[in-house]
Amino acid sequence: MKNMFDIMKQAQQLQSRMQSLQAELETAEVEGRAGGGLVAVVMSGKGEVKKVSIDPSLMKEDEREVLEDLIVAASADAKAKAEALAAEKMKSVTGGLALPPGLGL
């Protein structure tokens, strides 16, 4: 029975670390860039867009499609970085053990 209590205690510790990780990811920020830094997107560690920066040189009517494409690219870059941050944090919480599907962040 002691083994079962140890397992329950470990599960509670893991749950506590997961909640802490969730809070940390909400406040963490990553920045994605595109167009040589002309467009930047700041995103939370949970993937929420916080800020978009556009270089004034791109504010031309005939450059609109390029600007739209750069915003999409910068957002994708920031999202990839947010996912990498979440995976890195998850690895530190789980000690490198893979969680079953559906139990991730």
pLDDT computed for residue 98 by the predictor: 59
CB 91 within 8 A of CB 100: no
- Locate tokens 């997961």: which residue? 18
Two tokens at 49?
């867009």
Give the model's pLDDT for residue 11: 80
Kindly tell me if the per-residue pLDDT of 89 is higher than 60: yes
Residue 99: pLDDT band (50, 70, 90) is low
Q: Which residues contact 19 (CB under 8 A, 6 or more apart)?
A: none
Averaged pLDDT of the chain: 82
Closest CA to 82 of 52, 51, 49, 53: 49
- Residue 97 has a pLDDT of 61
The model's confidence at residue 33, banded by pLDDT at 50, 70 and 90, is very high
CA of residue 50 relative to chain centroid, distance? 12
Distances (CA, A) of 81 to 15, 62, 75: 24, 31, 10
CB-neighbour burial class of residue 86 (10 A; exposed 0-12, middle 13-18, buried 19+): buried
Q: Which tens digits make up the pLDDT trace of 35-86?
A: 999 989 898 888 888 888 888 888 888 888 888 888 889 888 988 888 888 8
CATH, domain 28-92, list 3.65.10.10, 3.30.70.2190, 3.20.20.80, 3.30.1310.10: 3.30.1310.10
